[in-house]
């Protein structure tokens, strides 16, 4: 009887081993994951001391966008800004300066989202005898394409 029990155990463990090998390599097809890098959000370039100037149809300066650093991401064609500064020029008004700790630029370059200690400084207009102002907030969205259109 002992030999018969040993044979049963050997056959049972052999069958379990063959079953596990068959399950591992035969019946279960594993999905092949191919990593092609399309889902990565890595920068392709950066610019130190970045400056961009926007002009209207008449060639007049409408805004200046400056940043300590611009980092561009090719997967969604957006950019991040470190310590951006936007100067907005409007006819008949002194320049408006906007500062923040960081910023994001949309893929078309027209939308800028400023975040972190945003400060908007409007200097006094000496010709109209008006005082200046300072506005502070945590977030501000600026559409640069609206700044390039001349008033009127």
Which residue in 137, 89, 135, 146 sits closest to 112, CA to CA? 146
Average pLDDT, the chain: 83
**Could you read off the pLDDT of 14-39 as tens digits, one per residue?**
888 887 877 777 665 666 667 666 67
Please state the domain extents for the chain.
Answer: 1-33, 45-147
Beta bridge partners of 120: 98, 135
CA atoms within a 13 Å half-sphere pointing along the CA-CB vector of 30:
6
Q: Are 97 and 87 in contact (CB under 8 A)?
A: yes
Whether the pLDDT of residue 89 is over 80: the answer is yes
Task: Name the pLDDT band for 116 (thresholds 50, 70, 90).
Answer: very high
Residue that is written with structure tokens 């392709």 in the block: 44
Predicted TM-score (pTM) of this structure: 0.68
Whether the pLDDT of residue 152 is over 60: the answer is no
Residue 113 DSSP code: E
DSSP labels, 43-61: -SEEEEEEEEEEE-TTS-E
Angle at 103 between CA 101 and CA 109, to 5 degrees: 155
Residue 130 DSSP code: B
Instruction: Give residue 27's Cα distance to chain centre.
Output: 44
- Selecting from 3.40.50.2300, 2.60.450.10, 2.40.10.480, 3.40.630.30, what CATH number does the domain 45-147 have? 2.60.450.10
């Amino acid at each position: 009887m002992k030999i018969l029990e040993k044979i049963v155990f050997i056959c049972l463990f052999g069958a379990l081993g063959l079953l596990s090998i068959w399950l591992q390599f035969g019946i279960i097809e594993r999905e092949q994951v191919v990593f092609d890098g399309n889902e990565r959000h890595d920068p392709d370039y950066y610019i130190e001391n970045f400056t961009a100037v926007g002009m209207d149809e008449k060639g007049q300066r409408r805004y200046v966008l400056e940043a300590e650093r611009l980092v561009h991401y090719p997967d969604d064609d957006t950019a991040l800004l470190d310590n951006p500064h936007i100067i907005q020029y409007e006819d008949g008004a002194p320049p408006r300066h906007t500062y923040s700790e960081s910023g994001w630029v949309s893929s078309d370059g027209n939308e800028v989202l400023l975040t972190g200690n945003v400060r908007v400084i409007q200097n006094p207009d000496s010709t109209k005898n008006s005082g200046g102002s300072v506005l502070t907030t945590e977030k501000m969205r600026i559409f640069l394409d609206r700044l390039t259109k001349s008033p009127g």
